[in-house]
Each structure stands twice: as C-alpha cells, then as structure tokens.
Structure 1
Amino acid sequence: MTSHSNSPQHTREHHATDQGMPGTELVVEVGNIAHGGHFVARHEGRVIFVRHAIPGEKVRIRLTDSGDSSRFWRADVVEVLEASPGRVPHFWKQADSLGSWSRGSAPVGGAELGHISLERQRALKAEVLAEQLKRLAGLDLTTEVEAVGENHDAGLGWRTRASFAVTPKGRLGMHAHRSDAVLPIKEMPLALAGLNAMMLWELDLSGIARVEVAVPANGSRPLILLAPEESTSPKRLHSILSQLPHEVSVASFDPGKGEVLQLRGRTWVQETAAGHQYRVTGEGFWQIHKDAPETLVGAVTGYLSEGGYLEPGAAVADLYAGAGLFTAPLADAVGVTGSVLSVEGAPGTSRDARKNLHGQSHVEIVQGRVERVLHQRARSFDSLVLDPPRAGAGKAVVKQLMATGPRAIAYVSCDPASFARDLGYFQQGGWRLESLRAFDLYPHTHHMETVGLIVPAG
C-alpha cells in the first residue's frame, strides 16, 4: 500500500468535544463516486462527501463544511494512507489537495480529478452517468465516456475560455471549492498555450473583481473581459489596460446587466466550427473545449442524418441555440427548401446568431424563452436539437417539445442529472432513448457532455 505523507504537521484528530467542527481530521474508507466530483465516505453513520479521493482508498480527510445539524459533511483529502492504483501525481500545484493543505490552505477548484489517471476518470464518469440514468430515468444503461481530440496531451491545454477572480492584493486568482476565498495562481494548465502566454498573474489587477478570457482555438484574436469594482476609476481602468498584451482585444463588462464596453480592439471573438465562422460577443456561450464544437456537431448531425430525420426540405428547430453552433450545419443539411427555427434567450447571443446566419433566408432567428416561443408559434417539426443550460429543459418544456410532433430530438447536455431527469419526463410522455454518447470534454474535472437521440416509443 502507498502512503502519501503530505498532511500538515499539526493535524487535529477528532475527539468527542470537537467532532464535526470544520478543520477536524478523520480517517475514512472511500466509497463510490457521486455526482459533482465527490466521493462517498461514512463516519459513525454520517455521510461525508470527500473531494480529491478515489474509491477504495483509505485516507485522512479534513472537514471543510460540517456541523452536528448538517445532513452530511464535506471534506478534502489531506493524506493518502492506502492509495488506489489509479492515483497519479497532480499536474497543478495550486489544485493539488495534498500539497495545498500541507502548506496550510485549501486547493483551488477546477481540477478536482487531476489526481486520477485519465482512463480511471472516464470510467468514474461513466459510473456517474449510469447511476443518474438509473435513479432518475429508471434505465439500466452503461455508456463509455469517449476521449476527445489528441490522446497524447495528458488532458491538458484544452480550455479556450477561463474565468478568474482577483485576490485582495490585486493578483489573478481562483476560488477554493464552495468558498469566498480567492487564492492566487501562477498558471492554468487546462487552458490553451495562448492564455498562459499572456502571463496575467504577473499583473496588478487592483480594482477588478473578475476577469474572463477567451482564446479561440483557430488562433484568431483573443479577448479579455474586465469586470471593474464599483469604485474603480476610468484612470485606474486605463492603467490596467496598458499592462495587457497589445495584440489582445479588451473590454469591460457588467455581469449583472450583461453590458460590454469596448476598451481596445473588438468586443467579440471569431470562432470556427463545421466549416462556418461564428462571432461570439462578450460572455456569449461557446463550448469550452477546443475540440468540442466539431465533436458535438458531428454527434448531433450524425444521429439525425443516419435516422433520416435531417434531410433536404425538412423542418427543424435549434433550441437554446446560442450563437448558432448547430443552427448553421442544420441549415446546410435541410437546404433552402427546408426551414430552421433558432431560439435563444440571451439578447446579445441572439444578435450574434443573426450575424452568423445572415443571408440564410430559410433560417428564422427568434430571441426569447423557449417555452414562450413554442407557445406562440404552434407548429410541427421533423426534428429538434435541444442544448439547454446546466439546469436542463424541465417538465413544462419537455411537454411542449413532444407536442410539436417531431420524429426525433437530439438532446445535448452538460449535466447527467438534469439530462436523466428530463429523459424521465420524455419517457412519461411515451418517448424513449434511442442512442446515447458521452464525451470527456472536461478532462480532470467531474464534468462531461452527453448527446442523446430521443424518439417516440411507437
């Protein structure tokens, strides 16, 4: 058995007087993975959700969220007493729980599975997906979580977008898990090389509350978004602007209002996928993994085309359409004799879709809530593409979708729980899951992406 002795020197073993207090350390056996990147352990009948563990390990944990009245506790691993064969050295110093706690602080979030081999990560994600499908949709189904892109990159260098906080001292940082604490960082190994080359962690960002960075995978001009604090003066903002690389576009933005103000260059980035160019403004949604757009478009159009649901002259809809990632290839497939309805709720992103699909007379871009648009435009479709936010579509929208009478729905999801819940609603309405693929579009995190083909059971 392997032991990793990176525990703080002054550990605090539990006693009857301090049991359950945050900071208490316990020794536990680690059970199965749970949705959300946690692993289930038990101590004297209490469930503890442990991060940075692997099933089958014996570990020392530090309670981070606990109390006698809590239904369950949360904890981080601080020492591995009996290691899993799937454990590997963490690639990122600031996200490594063992090393971080030995230095006296929590790890940053964002790479919570970085201590696990990629092969084991994907197997664990497949377990989570199977468990959610069983629990929420009553399905016994095991689906492989597929690797995406190059397999020799160790799961690094894939993020085209990253969000950062700023420390009280004005340094680029990230939050610890479920914490307001902002920890300084010196690298972002999951991001494209272009993001790391900006060296934003070397700058004085005092006066900025949040930083968003977009580095398109096609090599086009990056964009940095700065969210100033209310007290930040224009002079201070200009001083920060002067520190940023000249070849990068810079804009300020208000997360609450969704407003983007040009400071230098442009307020948008140019993305490429499936033979199309896409303009994405400000914080507008775009798939994070550099290979995600091509992968997901291929999966969606593959399902619909192979089933005969996406042909010239067909009527299709792209719901929660964003800037039009799926809308453009759908328009190609149905041709000018067909029609595509593209629905997106965010005004800015919907404007991007209009620009991206300009000149496509058989495409209708509508900005509004999906449920409202479907209610106002009672019509039938041959097939639908559904790519809702993490919370899923919900029972009311699923009912509306079935009422439009499509022969098939391609459902793209970034959350196995909301996907399984919505699938349960489809099944209650007489539909079934025809096919399912899962993709590891977020290596070293607990996230995954699924594409399901859902059809009427008859």
Structure 2
Amino acid sequence: MTRRPPRQARQRTPRGASRVGQRFEAVVGPVAHGGHCIVRLPEPESRVVFLRHAIPGERVVLEITEGTDGDRFWRGDAVEVLEASPDRVPPPCPYAGPGRCGGCDFQHVDLARQRALKADVVREQLARLAKLDRDVVVEAVPGDEHGLHWRTRQRYATLPGGGRAMRQHRSHDLVPVDTCLLEAPEPSDHRALDTTFEVADGGFWQVHPGAPDVLVTTVLELLGPQPGERCLDLYAGVGLFARFLLDAVGETGRVVAIEGDATASALSATNCPGAVVRPGDVGQVLATSYDEPFDLVVLDPPREGARRPVVEAVVDRRPRAVAYVACDPAALARDVATFAELGYELRDLRAFDLFPMTHHVECVALLAPR
C-alpha cells in the first residue's frame, strides 16, 4: 500500500499565558498512544501532560514544551530522572533525548520493555475504542540488530551549509547528525519469501527487512486460502499479498487487487500476473464494482484506517475471513468496532515490532462472521 507522509504539527493560536519552560516534579503514569506517557499534575495546574523520554512509574522533573493556561493538556520532556525505572538504559544514539532528534521515542527504554509498552498501547486502544479486553504480545522480527540498523530507506534533511540533519520532535528545527543508527547498511532488495517485486523509486515498501516475510506469512496463516477461492486485496500497493494469494487459490481462484496509487497499481499488474488489477480510490471502486461475493479480503489501509464506508463494502461481500494489516492501533480499533457492529468479530491478533526505538507497531488482525 502507499503510505502518506507524516503530518506536521499544527500551528495553534495561544489560549493564554505560555507555560513553556516551566518545570514540575511528578510521577509518570501509563504509556499512551503516540510515544509519550501520561502525567497528571495536581492543583493548581490540574493538567494532563503528554510526556516524552520517561517510563511509567519513574519520578522525574519535567519541562513543558507546549502549552498555555487555556489548553486542556500540555506537552513536556523528562529533563531529569529522580527515581529511574529498572528498564531505563543509556540511549545508543548520541542525538536521542530532550531537545534533540525527534525520530525515536523509546531509545531510553530496554528493548523488551519497549515491546511491552507497545502491547499496552494496542490493548488500551482495543479496550477504549472497540470495547475488547484482549491480551497482546508484540513480537520481535528478525532483521534488526538489537533494535538498530533496520531502516532500509532513510531520508535526512540538509543543513543550510550542507551536511545531514534530522528534525526535532513536532518541529522543523534541524539537529545536525553524522548518521542515524536506525539506518540499515543495505537498501531494500524488495523481496518477500524469495520473490522479487518491482517497486518505483520512492514507492512504498516495508522498511524493516524482516517485515515482508513476516506479514505475508501471517496473513496467509490467518486466512488459510484454498484453491478456487475469490480474494480481494485492498490498498494492494505493488501486490505484496496478491502475489501469494494467487499461488494459494490457483488457476480456479480469483484475486482482485485495488490500489489508489496509479504507479503502484501498474506495478502490481507486473508483479502479480493473473490478478485483476484496478487502480483507484478503494472506497469509490467498491461502491461501483466487484460487488459479487468474495471468500477472503486483505485490508492494508493507510494510517487513518479503512473507515466505515470501506468496512461496510467489505462486509457486504460476505467474506469468510478478513486479514487487516494495521500500522496504527487506534485506527485498527475503530475499524474493528465497525466490523463488530456489522457482525464480524476479532478472532485473532498478532503484533510485530517492525519499528524498534519508535512508538510504532504493526498489527495483523483476523476478522470473521460471528
């Protein structure tokens, strides 16, 4: 699928006197979606602070980085640790920390605890948005080196006088760097399960070298495609899942791949000979085409999720199983709730640490009729 670039922080109109730079001592609360923890300041401030560079349970001195008297919540950094978590480690990167590079969220956290924190986030989003109480385990994926050297595609900003830079968190301000420790020594070879795919320059492909294999294997295991079945691959990208669905359903089966990016869609036709390939917005295509029943559906939407119109269109085709690949647990939980309204329940869930040192986590969910 084609991922959209990350959004830039919105410029906000001040709602009173600024609190930026003020410091408070506090005990850190639970982790929250987005790479920060929750701190609740007592009166007279009575504010929630979304705090970076901390671990739940620590006692810290925090400094406000965004916030005014009229804001419902503030943002901050832990600038001094008074009582450290046993899971706190020295960041491997010299550019990680308050006021430095904003690319990583958890370099100060032991890798096993990072995965536990991500599991907490997925669990909390499912409970809050889908009303599901489900245990979650975030699994390590081969291909990184203790959480480093996994980004097979890396972009740097350029300093005015030349040289590499990264950006501060929620800022355009540049931080000079020599290199990023997440960068892989080799670019992606665009292979999955010993199959090579054509990908456009700058086109989307999973950046963790272990991601294509683990995602394809997981989707196939959850769906269990059989010869002769009909499959829909939505937000199909260059055909990563469609290619292997074709092999599974054989000549008597059918695979329809729909992708909004015209270049990626054209390449999926090359990568998936035998598939029916349709470029166009997924929701619009499903509203007018391919309204016959399908046995299986793969959903790999962008960060905002599939959303109700697409979920309704999928359910209308009455598949026996849906594999939902999600890079955002909140969007996944919202769509799982919509599926539940329409009679499809969450049968299985796998979560993978495809973005170590950051707050991002990839999930694969199996949905099926109740």
TM-score of Structure 1 vs Structure 2, range by shorter chain: over 0.9
User: 2:28 matched to 1:36?
Assistant: no
- For the pair shown, which has the larger CA radius of gyration, 1 or 2? 1
Determine which structure has the larger strand proportion and give its number.
1
CA distance in 2, matches of 1:146, 1:191: 21
* 2:249 equivalent in structure 1: 334
1:273 equivalent to 2:192? Answer: yes
Determine if the alignment matches structure 1 residue 158 to structure 2 residue 70: no
Give the Cα–Cα distance (whole angstroms) in 1 for the partners of residues 270 and 156 of structure 2: 29
* Counterpart residue number, 2:105: 112
Unmatched 5+ residue regions in structure 2?
Answer: 1-15
Instruction: Name the SS for the 1:93 alignment partner.
Output: coil
> What is the root-mean-square deviation in Å for CA atoms of aligned residues?
1.4
Q: Which residue does the alignment assign to 2:270? A: 355
Q: 2:214 aligns with which of 295, 301, 304?
A: 295
Letter aligned with residue 239 of structure 2? G
Question: Among the aligned pairs, what percent are the same residue?
Answer: 45
Whether contact under 8 Å (2:64, 2:77) holds in the other structure is yes
Report Cα offsets for 1:74-93 as digits up to 9, x if no partner.
01111111100000000111
Structure 1 runs of 4+ aligned residues shifted over 6 Å read: none
The answer to whether the Cα contact below 8 Å between 2:204 and 2:237 also exists between their aligned partners in 1 is yes
Describe the superposition over 1:248-280 as per-residue Cα deviations: whole angstroms up to 9, x where unpaired: xxxxxxxxxxxxxxxxxxxxxxx1112321111
Does the aligned pair in 2 maintain the 1:20–1:63 contact within 8 Å? no
CA distance in 1, matches of 2:321, 2:67: 46
Q: How does 1:142-291 map to 2 (within 5 A)?
A: 142-149=135-142, 153-194=145-186, 215-216=187-188, 218=189, 271-291=190-210
Deviation at 1:454, TM superposition (A): 0.1
Q: Secondary structure at the match of 1:160?
A: coil
Q: Which residue of 2 aligns with 1:428?
A: 341
Q: What is the distance in 1 between the residues matched to 2:41 and 2:92?
A: 30
The amino acid that maps onto 2:355 is Y
Report the Cα distance in structure 2 between the residues aligned to 1:379 and 1:169, rounded to whole angstroms. 59
User: Post-superposition shift, 1:171?
Assistant: 2.3
Q: Specify the alignment match of 1:126 in structure 2.
A: 119
Instruction: Report the alpha carbon displacement of residue 96 of structure 1 after superposing the two structures with TM.
Output: 2.5
Return the alpha-carbon distance in structure 1 between the equivalents of residues 54 and 160 of structure 2: 31
Does the CA-based 8 Å contact 2:143-2:150 persist in structure 1? no
Deviation at 1:184, TM superposition (A): 1.3
Find the counterpart in structure 1 of residue 305 from structure 2.
392
Bigger RCO (CA 8 Å, 6+ sep): 2
In the TM superposition, residue 20 of structure 1 has moved relative to its aligned partner by 5.0
Query: How many Å apart are 1:25 and its aligned residue?
Result: 2.0
Is the 8 Å Cα contact of residues 308 and 335 (structure 2) preserved in structure 1? yes
Deviation at 1:292, TM superposition (A): 0.2
* Distance in 1 (alpha carbons) for counterparts of 2:262 and 2:342: 32
Distance (Å, rounded) in 1 between the aligned partners of 2:265 and 2:347: 31
Q: 5+ residue gaps in structure 1?
A: 1-17, 98-105, 195-214, 219-270
> Larger deviation: 185-194 or 112-121?
185-194
Could you give the per-residue CA deviations for residues 33-72 of structure 1, whole angstroms, max 9, x where no partner exists? 0000110012231100000100011111221111111110
Deviation of the 1:163 alpha carbon: 2.4
Distance of 2:229 and 2:247 partners within structure 1: 11
CA contact (8 A) 2:143 2:210 kept: no
Q: Deviations over 1:168-221 (max 9, x none)?
A: 333221111111112111111111123xxxxxxxxxxxxxxxxxxxx11x4xxx
Give the Cα separation in 1 of the matches to 2:317 and 2:212. 27
State the distance in 2 between where 1:406 and 1:275 align.
29
Residue in structure 2 matched with residue 53 of structure 1 by the alignment: 54
- 1:235 aligns to what? none
Aligned to 2:362: 449
Query: Is 2:87–2:109's contact at 8 Å kept on the other side of the alignment?
Result: yes
Could you tell me how far apart the structure 2 residues matched to 1:342 and 1:272 are? 19
Is 2:87 the partner of 1:86?
yes
Spell out, residue by residue over 1:140-181, the C-alpha distance to the aligned partner (whole angstroms, 9 max, x if none). 001111111168x21111111122222233322111111111
What is the alpha-carbon distance in structure 2 between the residues aligned to residue 70 and residue 161 of structure 1? 37
- Asked if 1:373 corresponds to 2:285, the answer is yes
The answer to which of 421-430 and 179-188 deviates more is 179-188
Secondary structure at the residue paired with 1:434?
strand
